[in-house]
Each structure stands twice: as C-alpha cells, then as structure tokens.
C-alpha cells in the first residue's frame, strides 16, 4: 500500500551550499506520498545547490523565510546536509530557534549527513541517539549525543542518517514517521 500523506506539510530548511540530492530525493518521496513540501531559508530568492560539497548543480527556489515561519504550520522538518548549508544555518538565530522549537514540539525532525550540526547549535542533541557523516560525530559526542554508525536512526521524533547512500532508508523513515507507523524502542518504554 502506498503512503498517504495528504494534508501533511513538510518544511525543508536549507541555505546556500545544500547538497542537492539530500534535498531533492526526500522531497520527491514526500511529494509522491502526497505531502506538501516547502523550502525555507535565511534569505529570499534561490539557494545554490552543490554536488559532493564542491560542484555547483543549480538552485532551489525559496518559498519563505525561516524568520517568518511558525512551527505550528508544519508537520515535519527536513534538514539536508552539505557542509556549507548547515554551517550557514547554525549561525542564524532564527534558523536555530526554529529547529529548537520544532524538536521541542515533538514533531518529526529529519537530518542527514552534516544536517545534525544545526541540532547541536539548537541544543537538542544532548541525550539523543543520532548518526551523521563521520566528520561531525565528535561534534555530536561533545554535544552529549550517543552517536552510532547506522543507516538510519530514529530516536523519538529525531530521524538521522549518515550520507546520500542512506537516502532510500532515510526517506522511508520520514514517510513512516509521518504516517505514525514508526515505533522505536524508546517510544515503547
């Protein structure tokens, strides 16, 4: 049976330097499942996408500014990676506050690759089991997270993955969580 996410709104928070495939693939899966996706950023217009962090590969239109957004308007948050993108987000007070508020709302927050950097800045990684790209795992540990090396990790409302190779499992976990069919060991207890 195909997923039915009709009526669900998913916000993708990204900035220049976003890894194209980490925004594009989950968005496509969510759109096909019936969700409505929107890209928010720290600046209006378009954001520059990258491939392998270095090569420019087009742009994505920005639907709105994170400074003007409300967590109440969305059902889930997606934080794609690339190194430049989350580095820009984690120094923007509005972006950090939005991520913190989203995590604290209990709604699903999905971060892949370097995306968890913003979770660290928002102060929401402590005590959570997360995964990420290998180069930021020390940052996660230093922020108090329990770091594991797995394709996809679901800890309550946080969904994390390591890299673009994990996109199929990552995207499926987001859809499953939005459908309400995901049950982690922590949720069972």
Q: Which domains does the chain possess? A: 9-183 (3.40.50.880)
Residue 183: its pLDDT value, please?
38
CA-to-CA separations, 88 to 1, 103, 117, 155, 181, in angstroms, rounded: 39, 19, 10, 25, 33
How far apart, in whole angstroms, are the C-alpha atoms of residue 103 and residue 85? 19
Average pLDDT over residues 157-169: 98
Instruction: Say what the pTM is.
Output: 0.93
Backbone φ and ψ for 112, nearest 5 degrees, come out as -125, 150
Q: Give the Cβ contact number of residue 46 at 10 Å.
A: 14
Residue 2: its pLDDT value, please?
60
Candidates 89, 110, 113, 174; catalytic one: 113
98 flagged as catalytic = no
> Taking 70 as the threshold, does the pLDDT of residue 181 lie above it?
no
Residue 188: its pLDDT value, please?
34
> Taking 90 as the threshold, does the pLDDT of residue 189 lie above it?
no
Q: 3-class SS at 92?
A: coil
Backbone φ and ψ for 168, nearest 5 degrees, come out as -60, -45
Residue 3: its pLDDT value, please?
72
């Amino acid at each position: 049976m195909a997923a039915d996410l009709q009526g669900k709104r998913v916000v993708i928070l990204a900035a220049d330097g976003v890894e194209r495939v980490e925004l594009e693939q989950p968005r496509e899966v969510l759109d096909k499942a019936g969700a409505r996706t929107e890209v928010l950023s720290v600046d209006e217009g378009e954001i520059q996408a990258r491939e392998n962090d270095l090569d420019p590969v087009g742009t994505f239109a920005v639907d709105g500014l994170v400074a003007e957004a409300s967590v109440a308007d969305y059902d889930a948050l997606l934080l794609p990676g690339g190194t430049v993108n989350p580095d820009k987000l984690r120094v923007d007070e509005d972006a950090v506050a939005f991520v913190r508020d989203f995590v604290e709302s209990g709604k699903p927050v999905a971060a892949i690759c370097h995306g968890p950097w913003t979770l660290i800045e928002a102060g929401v990684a402590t005590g959570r089991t997360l995964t990420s790209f290998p180069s930021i795992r020390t940052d996660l540990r230093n922020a108090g997270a329990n770091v594991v090396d797995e394709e996809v990790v679901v800890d309550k409302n946080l969904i994390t993955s390591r890299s673009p190779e994990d996109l199929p499992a990552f995207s499926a976990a987001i859809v499953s969580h939005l459908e309400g069919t995901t049950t982690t060991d922590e949720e069972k207890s």
